[in-house]
């Protein structure tokens, strides 16, 4: 019974963790690109995602599947596979997240045409 309670509790914590991750994923880009700090950066990130949560979530799922498959394939290389996978995956994930941020920012605040 104890194990079941821990398992269910762990699963219940995973779902809110995913929700918070999607909402606050872009706070770093807000901090760097817009100069907004702290809780305001978190709030801005949530504002960008609001109304597009499922689209962002599905994109994250797709990128994670691609990364897991490629990491597994690269990990098959003896000795350097793990490190090579990290070196290749990290910039890819950051760029992918930035492009989503950039698109959301464009959707929420389209540039005014003169």
Indicate the domain borders of the chain.
2-108
Q: Is the dihedral of CA 59, 61, 67, 73 positive or negative?
A: negative
The overall average pLDDT reported for the chain is 84
- Give the Cβ contact number of residue 45 at 10 Å: 23
**Distance (Å, rounded) from C-alpha 18 to C-alpha 26?**
14
**pLDDT tens, position by position, 10-31:** 777 888 888 888 998 899 999 9
43 by Cβ neighbours in 10 Å (0-12 / 13-18 / 19+) ranks as middle
Over 70: is that where the pLDDT of 68 sits? yes
With beta carbons less than 8 A apart as the criterion, state whether 76 and 4 touch: no
Q: pTM of the prediction?
A: 0.77
pLDDT at 79: 76
């Amino acid at each position: 019974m104890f194990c079941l309670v821990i398992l269910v509790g762990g699963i219940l914590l995973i779902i809110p963790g995913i929700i918070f991750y999607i909402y606050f994923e872009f706070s770093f880009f807000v901090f760097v690109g817009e100069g907004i700090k702290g809780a305001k950066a978190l709030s801005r990130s949530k504002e960008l995602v609001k109304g597009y949560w499922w689209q962002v979530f599905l994109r994250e799922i797709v990128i994670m599947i691609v990364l897991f498959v490629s990491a597994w394939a690269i990990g098959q290389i003896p000795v350097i596979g793990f490190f090579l996978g990290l070196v290749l995956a990290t910039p890819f994930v950051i760029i992918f997240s930035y492009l989503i941020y950039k698109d959301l920012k464009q959707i929420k605040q389209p540039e005014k045409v003169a």
